[in-house]
Amino acid sequence: MKRLMVVDDESEICDFLKLFFEDRDFQVTTAFSGLKALEVLDQVKPHVVLLDIHMPGMDGLSALREIKKKLPDCKVIMVTALETRDKIEEAMRLGADNYITKPLSLEYLERDVREKVTLLAKSGKIMNETL
């Protein structure tokens, strides 16, 4: 089972992404903040994280730093409402694997998430039986 974590302070966004990816055989965990995501990170061990940049409390960039520290192999796709160059550049420097802007194109997002999972599988980071 491919494990996906969605981190966004908008519960509605978490809801439809969960619905969409569960339909496509993903195991989806949602978190409403960076801190909540880090709390469950060790238990969930997601393959891919969709991480919103603008969140109250711990923002996406700080969360990204922590996630990459705890799970270096985990692929993180930043989700942002704005294409603010400096934020995106910083995210890339911190090791983000891609970014996508809101409103989301689900087709594109699905393709990107699957690509990341395939990359992990090829490099042997995911056991074949779990897929």
* DSSP state, residue 104: P
Closest CB to other proteins among residues 13, 49: 13
- Kindly state the tokens that stand for 92: 């890339």
Span from 19-27, 31-39, 58-66, 120-128 in contact with other proteins (CB under 8 A): 19-27
Q: Which of 131, 125, 116, 129 is nearest to 50 (CA)?
A: 116
Interface region with other proteins, contact rule CB under 8 A, candidates 43-51, 62-70, 77-85, 118-126: 77-85
89 binds other proteins (CB under 8 A): no
Amino acid at 72: P
- Say if residues 96 and 60 touch (Cβ distance below 8 Å): no
Give the shortest CB-107-to-other proteins separation in angstroms. 7
Would strands 2-7 and 48-52 be described as parallel, antiparallel, or unpaired? Answer: parallel
Q: Is 130 in the site for other proteins (CB under 8 A)?
A: no
Q: Of 106 and 131, which CB lies nearer to other proteins in the complex structure?
A: 106
Measured distance CA(122)–CA(96) in Å, rounded: 19
- Binding residues (CB under 8 A) for other proteins: these are 10, 12-13, 16-17, 19-20, 23, 54, 81-85, 101-107
